[in-house]
Amino acid sequence: MSRSLHREKMSTYLLQWEAMRWAKAGGCRRYDLVGIPGRPAPSDTLWGLYRFKVGFGGQVLQTVGAWDYPLRPGIHWMYRQVLPRALAVMRFRGRRRTQALLE
């Protein structure tokens, strides 16, 4: 994820690039950026993600996709329902704190 503040510095690109270099130095021959959305249009909300991942010049490989098979339904419910809400509260507080620091 990246924030709007200083987005032009593209730190996420550097982070991924360094991770790829580290993996290659460790003997890895493949580096999976996980998934990309089909072929979105530039107006699509996922266009930035698509451009980011494809921009590294790798090969796009289509597979069946990822599926969740919850071995513990109760914990999976918390993961799907409670965790996103907790993270939203944390992000809200973080944004307020950042705003206060900038003012």
| pLDDT given for residue 103 in this prediction | 82
* 91/47 Cα distance (integer angstroms): 23
| pLDDT given for residue 81 in this prediction | 93
Q: Give pLDDT < 50 ranges for the chain.
A: none
| pLDDT given for residue 91 in this prediction | 93
| pLDDT given for residue 2 in this prediction | 62
Name 91's Cβ contacts closer than 8 Å, sequence gap at least 6: none
Helix, strand and coil content of the chain, in percent to the nearest 5, comes to 55, 0, 45
| pLDDT given for residue 35 in this prediction | 79
* 61/59 Cα distance (integer angstroms): 6
Predicted TM-score (pTM) of the model is 0.53
